[in-house]
Chains A and B, each alone.
Chain A
């Protein structure tokens, strides 16, 4: 078995050997489903309103249910991703297994990528679970499928960026709690930084993780947003690699 795949497999096994992964999946699904139900209820009530008949094109399932639902998911991701990534590298240091990994004939990048891939799989599982709610809509309604797919693409990129930043935080310490706090802090700053500036074209606005998400929800996949997220993912992974590499030189 290739080293990458063994690292990935061990990491996944470790997630599911403890209750952590199950708790994360359940909490994520409960919270997002609860909000989904709220939005749907709001939409149904609104349909009974006489003014609904005078609606302009904007008041549909996509804008009133799916878009806010995805917004909720992105916030839940902000809260949950630090819990997914906190142990990835911090735990290796704490259990002295880092010494095994770094004296084995494998590249540091293989270790980092294997761990990232395991966390990605957990993210995909979360997103798939959440899509059940959207499928229910499909059965009874007629939402714009393209917007749903692009929304999920955006959520996946957003979540993956969060994960790469979380891994970096985890590589800085041997304490899981500290790793979680660091990654939550960094993610929150990246999230809120857009609010500090009014102009959308400003640098701060560009740095904001959530500004780049907005178009995906509307069904627009803009290359510049994809580039933003992919760069963020690479940056996080590269910083993790550098942190692990430089630690040995100290």
Chain B
């Protein structure tokens, strides 16, 4: 469980984070979004106890990270924006060192190291010097490092950055499979990633939360705002009127080259009738599909509306 209350961080006159509050339960995977410089990394650094806030509190599994940092930090796994690697160590030596400073018990240490190496796909490079590894492997060693203490709170700052498409998919699968009974906070620039992995979304801009929503609710909202694209061979006469006559349609907007954007009344399904109408009138039906609001559009909307 992660409980963040009224978090504020100021660097001199600059306010990086302002009155940020949210709460996550076990099993939640939070997608933490925002434009560059919005305060994502600062927030994550505060939650992990790397730096104290100017104001506000953070509780990790009920323990205040600033009153009892050693106890709270035990259950945190953290992958910073730049993976914290010692280039002169082998992967095994490095993970063993991390296990030691994260207070992993002596008995479980070895099995834990092998388990995370297996999960992150770095077992075959375990004897290589980290400085000689490719960027993808380095990123995966960084993720392995965050998992070595079997954390119940996992905080990942842009985990898929610098990976190739196949590795990105692998890491997403890994994060998904890891969530289980953990609390995961994930910051990213790749919005589809959020739709794929996360159960909750927070978008921040200028250090403030501009949107906080469960992904389920968000996708329902996006779907309900759905419109339908109808493409025919050419713009015919009276098409708009005929579509309106179907009822259940709140607006029809003709576009170029036989396209029509149809917004149905809330909750109404008009696609079946539309297709019949198009065929019966011989409009030359080429395409009929829903136009979904993507997370990108939601993101851009909240970011820009906040700016105005």
| A interface with B by C-beta (< 8 Å) | 1-3, 5-7, 9-10, 13-14, 17-18, 95-107, 248-250
Contact = CB atoms under 8 A, between A and B. Distances in A.
Interface residues of B, number: 33
A18 B84 contact: no
Contacts of A107: 70
Contacts of B140: none
Interface string B67-103: 0011101101010111111111100010001101111
Interface in B209-249: none
Given A1-B100, A14-B88, A96-B80, A103 B48 contact: yes
B205 interface: no
A218 B178 CA distance: 66
Contacts of A13: 88-89, 93
Interface of B: 11, 45, 48-52, 69-71, 73-74, 76, 78, 80-89, 93, 97-98, 100-103, 106, 145
Contact of A18 (B76, B88, B93): B88
A105 B77 CA distance: 11
A102 B76 CA distance: 12
B100 A6 contact: yes
Contacts of B50: 99, 102-103, 248
* Most chain A CB within a 10 A radius of its CB, from B11, B93, B101, B103: B101
Contacts of B84: 95-100
Closest 3 CB pairs of A and B: A6-B100, A100-B84, A105-B73
Nearest to B98: A100
Contacts of A105: 69-71, 73-74, 101-103
Contact of A6 (B81, B87, B101): B101
A111 B49 CA distance: 16
* Most chain A CB within a 10 A radius of its CB, from B81, B93, B97: B97
Contacts of A104: 73, 98, 101-102
B86 A249 contact: no
Contacts, number: 80
A151 to B, nearest CB: 35
Nearest to B54: A249
Nearest to A99: B80
A64 to B, nearest CB: 44
B207 to A, nearest CB: 17
Given A14-B86, A18-B88, A103 B76 contact: yes
B101 A7 contact: yes
A101 B84 CA distance: 9
A7 B83 CA distance: 19
Nearest to A96: B82
A105 B65 CA distance: 11
20 contacts: A3-B100, A3-B101, A9-B97, A10-B86, A95-B85, A95-B87, A96-B83, A96-B84, A97-B85, A98-B84, A100-B101, A100-B145, A102-B49, A103-B48, A103-B76, A103-B78, A105-B73, A106-B103, A248-B52, A250-B11
Nearest to B145: A100
Contacts of B85: 95, 97
Nearest to A111: B101
A97 B101 CA distance: 12
A192 to B, nearest CB: 36
Given A17-B89, A100-B80, 9 more contacts: A3-B100, A6-B97, A7-B101, A10-B86, A96-B81, A99-B50, A101-B101, A249-B51, A250-B11
Nearest to A91: B86
A3 B73 CA distance: 14
